[in-house]
Amino acid sequence: VFNLDSMLFRINSEGIEFIVDLKKRTCDCMEFQLDELPCPHAIAAINKRYLQKSDYCSNWYSKETWLKTYEGHVNTVGDQKLWDIPQSVQSEITKPPDVEILQGRRQKKRHIPVTESVSFKSTKCSRCKQVGHNRTTCLSSPAPYPYSKKHTEKYSNFSNPWSEFRLSLLYDIFEM
């Protein structure tokens, strides 16, 4: 955001420059003029001057205007049987289009539009803890498995009397 004047700014957004005039309430993107609401470029200029964004919104968006819209009495619509619809209008009534139900499983994921940025979750290897690949494509040496030979050798010195008894029974049965 660059000041050109007290109320005139040059905003650089993704390599494109926009001129915002807060006095005339205009921007080169035309959103500020069309919607009568500050566009992102105008908001950047308003923030640069520490002004209130609500001051640059049209009165059509104010709370008072919205309340005045519904200030008057709104009559309810009577029973549909009592409606007097002219024949010319009755023939014009359109029905919603028939929806064709497609075969197969319905899509659970929504279609992401091109304008929406997609953030992908990067994969992390459970073996070497590095980002960018997973365990199956890991090139580093495998981590020791808890039941590997090294692990069992640690505890092989501890003898289990029950297992020794069972082995001796087997030797006696098969007379080895």
At residue 43, the pLDDT reads 92
What's the pLDDT score for residue 8?
92
Pair 140, 150: CB distance under 8 Å:
no
- At 62-106, the pLDDT tens digits run 888 888 888 888 788 888 888 888 888 877 767 777 778 888 887
Block residue for tokens 């007097």: 84
Residues of the chain with pLDDT under 50: none
**Residue 16, SS3?**
strand
What is d(CA 128, CA 43) in angstroms, rounded to the nearest whole number?
Answer: 46
Give the other-Cβ count within 10 Å of 38's Cβ. Answer: 23
Which of 30, 37, 40, 32 is CA-nearest to residue 1? Answer: 40
pLDDT of residue 26: 92
- In single-letter form, the type of residue at position 63 comes to K
